[in-house]
Structure 1
Amino acid sequence: MRKIFSLSLAAAVLASAVAGPAPASAAPADDAFFTPPSPLPAGAPGDVVRFRVTEAGAITAKVRSWQVMYRSTDALGQPNVVTGMILIPRSVDPATAPIVSFASGTYGPAFRCTPSEMERIGASYEQPAINDMLDAGYAVVMTDYEGYHPDPKTTYVTGRSEGHAVIDVVRAAQKLPETGLSKTAKVVFRGYSQGGGASLWAAQLQPEYAPELNLVGAVGGGVPADLVQVSLQLDGKLGFGFLAYSLIGLDNAYAELDLERYLNDAGKTAFARMQREACTLELLLDYRGKRLSEYTTASPVLTPPWLARVQENKLGGTPIRVPVHEYHGTRDDIVDFAQHKALRDTYCGAGVAVDWKTYDTDHITGVYLGNAGAAAFIADRFAGRPATSNC
């Protein structure tokens, strides 16, 4: 019964989001803005490659907003370019506004699912959290992560790539003169699910990768910290589409993994279609209950090359130096609860100031149920109040 409830809620929420109002100026599916330049221009992480003023769905009148392409760093430490969005409330002085780098949850592998495009047309399922932060007077910057362009090759759940992208969209927003944002502004990383993992990866990487940022906190809800443990809970279940997408994402990040050689004909067709067409709703509805064995001649999951790359993207190896708010639903039916609890324990053991909260709920409901706690934590960090830990 709980699974049926979760699925119906997911369908209702995501269908509502996708069916949100689209402005007449909706961009074509092959929007060249998102095509990476070749060769990449010289520069440093966070340098702006291009930008454009844009709409932001129903909140357009309340914010100044831009889509931006900026330099970042992939999972192998090589330069790349990533797109994202900058939102600043018209009611605030940007020179004094704190910044939240909001790491989006799963939007799907297809180009039409690009998170900043979902925000632009008013179809973001995370809009309540975004609205709360804007209403609080924060600038909100959002990365699309690596690989959203007309020939999409997104690097889903590849923590090192995602963490760099979350950091560098802050740098890009601070470097873009039109925003007026301060380079000394207080910054918090925040996200749920895929975004929760990306947020904590950004927090782990920041001291070495971007020491100039005035980072004061990080929020991670529903975090897929250990991809092996998460994957074991998805095969044949509601979230199989996320397992399949995870394989695609890692394969896009690390060419030597060569996912295609493990796929049978049905797998090659289904996975190609997924990259071409699937957003979150399709991942949930079209692939629920499927098994990896239906699509593969042999499972890649436990082979040495895959295990090595998965291990590289396991959270917890580096203590986070700022206070952290983590939360998770104890009945999570997509991202295993126990592996996130293990990450919390690891951070606590390493001396991280962790504020840990659990909710008696499933994964989809947790997208919304954790908003109030996350908002309170962020407000405290920006106000300079002492952090508390319940380790």
Structure 2
Amino acid sequence: MPIRTRVAGALTAGLLLSAATPTAYAAETDTATHPGDVVTSAPTEFHPLPGQWTNTRAWHITYRSTTAKGGPNVVSGTVIVPNDGRTGPRPLVTYAVGTVGMGDSCAPSAGFPYGTTVEATLINQIVQRGWAVAVTDYEGLGTPGDHTYTVGRAEGTAMLDAARAAQRLGIPGVDADSPVGIMGYSQGGQASSWAAELHDSYAPELKVKGTATGGVPADLLKVAKADDGGLGSGLIFMAAAGQNAAFPELNLDAYLNPAGKALVDYFRTNCVAIDSIAGSFKKITDLTVKNPLEQPDWQARLNESHLGTHAPDAPVYLYHGTLDELIPYDVGQALRADWCARGANVSWHALPLLGHIGGVTVGALPAADWLADRFAGRGTGGNC
């Protein structure tokens, strides 16, 4: 499929985001009938830091994907390819970032042209290996509607369909024969782990060679219990808003007191740096009239995002900081145990004395090296 540019000129991702409307997407999806079909594409730029040059070509895309309930949706993202003249097959990594916030301005694609996307330096390390990278914005982050933050199935399909969309752009060397890697940490770890579990049923045609995933919030109820009243307490309310976006019948507003409603409304339009300050050290009971996490319908929906119930069909590199202050280390250990018990090929790596941010900075390079071995066809026996 040739590259389809539906917006004249080299628009930035930010301009494209602001121009997009639900009506426009509805019209485009008449021809984007399959998951991974490209809805719109336009040239953009990829800068890891403000003004930092990279020898790359990049496209802001919107593409067809699937909601947690199985319906069609449209997700945005960015495809980045080294401008190295290579025309033969090259690996493709579908990459999911950690928590950035819930406002559209927080989307990775909105920051790439300006060098303000936090994980862009890590993504650049992958691009500089000669790999193409597709970075999803996730459902509702950069497209109409609220971001379905922490809804695992929606994140997993968004990642797999970003890979499909990259293959359908018509980029030389990036096509259905490209070996695919899946990568992400924190929220991106949840998304990449879900993509790994969904691959064999949702996108089996993708030639996935392995998944590198870290800091994974595999059990949302356990993470919420650990974060309540602590540094990461705001993440609980962001997650509640994300679950409510996917499942409006949960009726989050009915559980929030005025202070809770104000905080959640604030989260819906702001990014993680300020959100973490506004939301820290708050108890669920301080912001609710009744704790939604104690209700059967909420517990059922949160448990739908529980990982470890299905073995990924390709090898997995799983890593976690032993002092992670946001996602308890034993949550990562439990995911390892669950996958191993189901016969998955898991290479488990504990990161001694590292917290959540240390885990991504120290763990990213070995994870990418591990993916390089998978692309090279080298075997891995795992360490279950």
- Asked if Structure 1 and Structure 2 have the same fold, meaning a TM-score greater than 0.5 normalized by the shorter chain, the answer is yes
Displacement after TM superposition at 1:178 (Å): 4.3
Does residue 348 (structure 1) correspond to residue 340 (structure 2)? The answer is yes
Using a 3 Å threshold, how does the CA distance of structure 1 residues 379 and 70 change in structure 2: closer, same or farther?
same
- Matching residue's letter, 1:269: A
Does residue 285 (structure 1) correspond to residue 277 (structure 2)? The answer is yes
Displacement after TM superposition at 1:340 (Å): 1.4
| Counterpart among 43, 50, 75 of residue 53 in structure 1 | 43
- Matching residue's letter, 2:376: A
Q: Is the 8 A contact 2:186 2:214 kept in 1?
A: yes
CA separation in 2, counterparts of 1:298 and 1:83? 35
Displacement after TM superposition at 1:149 (Å): 3.6
CA separation in 2, counterparts of 1:214 and 1:160? 20
Q: Aligned to 1:141, what secondary structure does the other structure show?
A: strand
Displacement after TM superposition at 1:119 (Å): 2.1
- Matching residue's letter, 1:47: D
Matches within 5 A, 1:245-260: 245-260=238-253
After superposing the two structures, state which structure 1 stretch, 266-275 or 183-192, moved more: 266-275
Does residue 113 (structure 1) correspond to residue 106 (structure 2)? The answer is yes
CA separation in 2, counterparts of 1:29 and 1:171? 21
Q: Is the 8 A contact 1:126 1:367 kept in 2?
A: no
Q: Which residue number in structure 2 is paired with residue 142 of structure 1?
A: 135
CA separation in 2, counterparts of 1:34 and 1:137? 35
Matches within 5 A, 1:1-391: 27=14, 31-33=18-20, 35=22, 37-38=25-26, 40-42=29-31, 43-57=33-47, 58=51, 60-91=53-84, 93-149=86-142, 152-178=145-171, 180-276=173-269, 278-359=270-351, 360-391=353-384
Displacement after TM superposition at 1:296 (Å): 0.8
CA separation in 2, counterparts of 1:68 and 1:216? 24
Q: Aligned to 1:216, what secondary structure does the other structure show?
A: strand
CA separation in 2, counterparts of 1:25 and 1:160? 29
Displacement after TM superposition at 1:355 (Å): 0.6
CA separation in 2, counterparts of 1:59 and 1:65? 14
CA separation in 2, counterparts of 1:295 and 1:135? 46
CA separation in 2, counterparts of 1:337 and 1:217? 22
After TM superposition, the score normalised by the length of structure 2 is: 0.92
- Matching residue's letter, 1:181: V
Q: Is the 8 A contact 2:263 2:279 kept in 1?
A: no
- Matching residue's letter, 1:307: Q
Using a 3 Å threshold, how does the CA distance of structure 1 residues 338 and 209 change in structure 2: closer, same or farther?
same
Q: Aligned to 1:167, what secondary structure does the other structure show?
A: helix
Displacement after TM superposition at 1:26 (Å): 7.6
Identity of matched residues, %: 39
CA separation in 1, counterparts of 2:307 and 2:87? 33
- Matching residue's letter, 2:378: R
- Matching residue's letter, 1:31: S
Displacement after TM superposition at 1:95 (Å): 3.6
Q: Is the 8 A contact 1:111 1:152 kept in 2?
A: no
**Structure 1 unmatched ranges of 5 or more:** 1-23
Displacement after TM superposition at 1:195 (Å): 0.3
Q: Is the 8 A contact 1:223 1:328 kept in 2?
A: yes
CA separation in 2, counterparts of 1:29 and 1:264? 36
Q: Is the 8 A contact 1:173 1:179 kept in 2?
A: no
Using a 3 Å threshold, how does the CA distance of structure 1 residues 174 and 30 change in structure 2: closer, same or farther?
closer
CA separation in 2, counterparts of 1:235 and 1:80? 32
After TM superposition, the score normalised by the length of structure 1 is: 0.90
Q: Is the 8 A contact 1:29 1:150 kept in 2?
A: no
CA separation in 2, counterparts of 1:99 and 1:198? 17
**Alignment deviations for residues 202-258 of structure 1 (CA, whole Å, 9 cap, x no partner):** 011111111111011001100000001010011110011111110010000111111
Using a 3 Å threshold, how does the CA distance of structure 1 residues 381 and 150 change in structure 2: closer, same or farther?
closer
Displacement after TM superposition at 1:266 (Å): 1.3
Using a 3 Å threshold, how does the CA distance of structure 1 residues 29 and 334 change in structure 2: closer, same or farther?
farther
**Alignment deviations for residues 331-374 of structure 1 (CA, whole Å, 9 cap, x no partner):** 00011111111010111111111111111211012121101210
- Matching residue's letter, 1:49: V
- Matching residue's letter, 2:30: P
**Structure 2 unmatched ranges of 5 or more:** 1-10
CA separation in 2, counterparts of 1:34 and 1:367? 35
Displacement after TM superposition at 1:34 (Å): 6.7
CA separation in 1, counterparts of 2:342 and 2:12? 50
After superposing the two structures, state which structure 1 stretch, 56-65 or 167-176, moved more: 56-65
4+ residue runs over 6 A deviation: none
Q: Aligned to 1:31, what secondary structure does the other structure show?
A: helix
Q: Is the 8 A contact 2:166 2:175 kept in 1?
A: no
**Alignment deviations for residues 59-91 of structure 1 (CA, whole Å, 9 cap, x no partner):** 554100000000000000101010000000011
Q: Aligned to 1:131, what secondary structure does the other structure show?
A: helix
- Matching residue's letter, 2:93: V
